[in-house]
Amino acid sequence: MSDAATVAQGFMDVHGRAPAGVWSAPGRVNLIGEHTDYTEGVVFPFAIDRRAFMAADRNNDDVLRIQSLQRPDEVIEIPIAELAPRSDHHWSSYVAGSAWALRDAGHDVRGFDVVLDCTVPSGSGLSSSAALECATMLVAAGLYGVPVDPFPFALLAQRSENLYVGVPCGSMDQTASMMGKAGSALFYDTQSGDVAHEPFEPGAAGLALLVIDTRAHHALADGEYAKRRQACEEAARQLGVPSLRHIAVDGLDAALASLDADLGRHVRHVVTENARVFASRIALREGDYVELGRLLDASHASLKDDFRVSADELDVAVEAARSAGALGARMTGGGFGGSAIALVAIEGIGELSDAVRRAYAERGFEEPSIWVVEPSDGAHQDS
């Protein structure tokens, strides 16, 4: 089990001195509101109980020295003065990018040593990238006396992913990682920047939210993500609106009438998904988990058929989960592999997990990893 003590010991082993502190930030599950955060939509993620832990201390070498317990033989050293966007998608860039973003925003962040341990499985669609970015934001701020302001920090972390790492993501993952709270999901309006914690404790209703990590990672994902984003921007341009958030459900038919079928299906997903996020908030407040499950199912159908970001492994997991009694199930995150979630009665967890594993074995898919996920606290200093 990895935690703050493990990574502090890892730092001791490597550097022969204690770290100045340990900081951590979680991955996220998105309950609902997928592929809406880059077109001013609403999203409803929560921080999860898997985190990137970082033990760190300043150094006097003006170098960013990055090591990971997952890669014991690698030492990445980047002179602070040479931090600059590189678009190389290297794992260490999720760390270096945040240091760059803070410096680029005018903060006097200099050299530091960091040893990290990430318990968010990489490639699982659960945002190990945001966990690394947000933990680094706190490390660099903590070591160099930069006051932490969670929402602007989340946007800086997104900026580092966009520019330094070179991934054109929205701001959902970083906001969830930075601002999540145990026992709640984060209702985040990316247009207004409003963030609200909505109590979300399925266990209190005898339910559990399962993560099904398909372990499938499709190589095309990055390019396909960028294409979806471009399609949404092109549709907004043709409709004469700043973003698809300006199209309401009752204006959908008129919008679709003026677009070709391909752009139209993108718009239909985004507009109906925004409506499902608002409806999910109401369902949660009313404790109506049957309705929430229905919305999760509808979200998956829209992502699969209209937005076309699902994958066979996700569809099989979702179908098997539903057949085995889930109230609802959907892919979560960017798609093209990664993870699905399923809302299920606690006593049905075993049956559902068996059903998904059986369906995977029948298809010859790699065995999925399935666990109960708990809404957890966002980024913080551990010690």
Residue positions annotated with a catalytic role: 173
Q: Among the candidate windows 29-37, 143-151, 316-324, 366-374, which touches ligand GLA by CB under 6 A?
A: 29-37
Which stretch in 73-81, 135-143, 165-173, 368-376 sits in contact with ligand GLA by CB under 6 A?
Answer: 165-173
38 interacts with ligand GLA by CB under 6 A: yes
Choose the binding region for ligand GLA from 33-41, 263-271, 287-295, 344-352 (rule: CB under 6 A).
33-41
- The helix/strand/coil state of 41 is coil
Q: Are 343 and 318 in contact (CB under 8 A)?
A: no
Among 10, 37, 113, 140, binds ligand GLA (CB under 6 A): 37
Nearer to ligand GLA, 37 or 57 (CB): 37
Residue range at the interface with ligand GLA (CB under 6 A); choices 78-86, 134-142, 170-178, 312-320: 170-178
Q: How far apart are the C-alpha atoms of 29 and 71, rounded to whole Å? A: 25
338 in contact with ligand GLA (CB under 6 A)? no
Min dist CB 162 to ligand GLA, Å, is 10
Residue whose entry in the numeric block shows the structure tokens 């098997």: 320
What's the order of all strands across the beta sheet hosting 328-332? 328-332, 337-345, 207-217, 369-372
Which among 26, 362, 348, 33 has a CA at the least distance from the CA of 180? 26
Q: Minimum distance from CB of 367 to ligand GLA (Å)?
A: 24
Decide if residue 170 touches ligand GLA (CB under 6 A): yes
Alpha helix segments (H runs only) across 56-196: 93-104, 128-144, 150-159, 172-179
Q: Report, in Å, the least distance between residue 273 CB and ligand GLA.
A: 9
Measured CA to CA in angstroms, residue 3 lies from 8, 20, 183, 238 at distances of: 9, 16, 20, 50
User: Would you say 322 and 297 are in contact if contact means Cβ atoms under 8 Å apart?
Assistant: yes
- Residue 337 interacts with ligand GLA (CB under 6 A)? no
Q: Interaction with ligand GLA in 107-146: which residues (CB under 6 A)?
A: none
Nearest to 147 by CA among 201, 109, 185, 204: 109
How many Cβ atoms from other residues are within 10 Å of residue 369's Cβ?
13
Nearest CB to ligand GLA, comparing residues 157 and 256: 157
Q: Should residue 35 be labelled a site residue for ligand GLA when binding is judged by CB under 6 A?
A: yes
Fill in the DSSP letter of residue 18.
-
**Contact with ligand GLA (CB under 6 A): which of 31, 99, 139, 169?**
169
Short-list 316, 364, 366, CA closest to 340: 316
Closer residue to ligand GLA (CB): 141 or 169: 169
For residue 32, give the H/E element and its range. strand 21-32
Q: Which stretch binds ligand GLA (CB under 6 A): 82-90, 107-115, 169-177, 370-378?
A: 169-177
Q: Does 276 bind ligand GLA (CB under 6 A)?
A: no
C-alpha to C-alpha distance for 233 and 263, rounded to whole angstroms: 10
User: Residue 30 or residue 119: which is nearer to ligand GLA going by CB?
Assistant: 30
Which residue's CB is nearer to ligand GLA, number 198 or number 224? Answer: 224
Shortest distance (Å) from residue 172 CB to ligand GLA: 5
Query: Would you say 64 or 303 has its CB closer to ligand GLA?
Result: 303
Half-sphere exposure of 35 (CA within 13 A, CB side): 33
Cβ at position 167, least distance to ligand GLA in Å? 7
Size of the site for ligand GLA (CB under 6 A): 11
Scan residues 234-263 and list those touching ligand GLA (CB under 6 A): none
| Residue 172 in the binding site for ligand GLA (CB under 6 A) | yes
For CA atoms 164, 165, 169, 173, give the dihedral sign.
negative
Long-range contacts of 84-89 (CB under 8 A, 24+ apart): 85/163, 85/164, 85/166, 86/164, 86/166, 87/164, 87/165, 87/166, 88/165, 88/166, 89/165, 89/166, 89/167, 89/222
Nearer to ligand GLA, 33 or 202 (CB): 33
Residues in contact with ligand GLA by CB under 6 A are 30, 34-35, 37-38, 169-170, 172-173, 333-334
